[in-house]
């Protein structure tokens, strides 16, 4: 905890801000992916997931890798943290194509 200059008292009463950031960020991410899919005319689930994975690799993993490297966070934690976002984006890619088909 000392690495982030936080004490146990600091984290004992968590804020609702992380949840708000999460919801707002997810809405922005999904609208952006949906907008790209419309522009690119993505029609198949495989293409949708593939584009989401490419976006993840180009933007999300890259950002996690740099931030974690400079803050000395172990590579395994980078894989874990970025992997969660990989799953989120793959699911978003799948759902946005299926939802658009309806």
Judged by phi (left if over 0) then psi (alpha if -120 to 50, else beta), residue 5 lies in left
Q: For the chain, what percent of residues have pLDDT higher than 90?
A: 73
| pLDDT per position as a tens digit, 33-77 | 999 999 999 989 999 999 999 999 999 999 999 999 998 999 999
pLDDT bin (cut points 50, 70, 90) of residue 101 is low
pTM of the model: 0.76
Q: What is the DSSP string of 20-77?
A: HHHHHHHHHHHHHHHHHHHHHT--SHHHHHHHHHHHIIIIIIHHHHHHHHHTT--HHH
The reported pLDDT for the residue numbered 7 is 77
């Amino acid at each position: 905890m000392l690495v982030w200059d936080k004490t146990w008292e600091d984290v004992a009463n968590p804020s609702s801000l992380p949840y708000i950031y999460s919801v707002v960020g997810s809405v922005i991410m999904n609208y952006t992916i949906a907008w790209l899919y419309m522009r690119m005319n993505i029609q198949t689930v495989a293409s949708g997931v593939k584009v989401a994975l490419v976006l993840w690799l180009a933007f999300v993993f890259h950002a996690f890798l740099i931030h974690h490297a400079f803050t000395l966070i172990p590579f395994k934690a980078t894989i874990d943290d970025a992997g969660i976002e990989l799953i989120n984006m793959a699911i978003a890619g799948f759902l946005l194509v299926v939802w658009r088909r309806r």
